Amino acid sequence: MKAHFAGFARYNAWANRRLYDAAAGLSDGRLRSDEGAFFGSLHGTLNHLLVTDVIWMARIRGIKGPPWTLDHIAHDDFADLRAAREALDADIVAGIDALRESDILAGEIAYTRVTRPELIVQPLAHALAHLFNHQTHHRGQCHMILTRLTGTAPELDLLVYQREATAAA
């Protein structure tokens, strides 16, 4: 199970790099244009992904996360957002690598949300599955926005990552 999530952590970082590389060529106006995604723009969606990953990693580590709402703009500047994303992706990889197999199989996390104060307890494996599934969900929205804005978007399929990782090994 640990190898499964470690692979997803590395895939996550790879896919985010490709997404940010594609977005880097957009003007600030296009990054912020409302394209009908749940968080409106590419900028808003990329911030949402960063915000939620910070929150989930705090929960996984058993520490109090920032009091951000899900639409919080953590970084208004794209270069700052990209640097924060790269650092967070490295932290996610290191955090997953630091877990023991037994933590993943039998561990639980407990947290309260900013919007609702009730205590939530869930298996760690479920939280990890959500972390990476959530990323994929919103990266799909980013892919749609890039396609709409530029006519093209990078390949983000897990199988493409796995083939590249295997070839590099």
Cα separation of the two ends of the chain: 21
Cβ contact 150:138 at 8 Å: no
Query: Is 43 annotated as belonging to a binding site?
Result: no
Q: Is the pLDDT of residue 116 over 90?
A: no
Query: Is 75 annotated as belonging to a binding site?
Result: no
Q: What is the pLDDT of residues 128-148, one digit of tens each?
A: 999 999 999 999 999 999 999
Q: What is the pLDDT of residues 32-72, one digit of tens each?
A: 999 999 999 999 999 999 999 999 999 999 999 999 999 99
Q: What is the mean pLDDT of residues 136-165?
A: 97
Phi, psi of 107 (to 5 degrees): -75, 155
Domains of the chain are: 2-168 (1.20.120.450)
- Report CA-CA distances (Å) from 131 to 42, 59, 89, 117, 137: 19, 11, 12, 21, 10
Angle CA 121–123–128, to nearest 5: 115
Cβ contact 57:92 at 8 Å: yes
- Report CA-CA distances (Å) from 84 to 80, 100, 139: 6, 26, 16
Query: Is 138 annotated as belonging to a binding site?
Result: yes
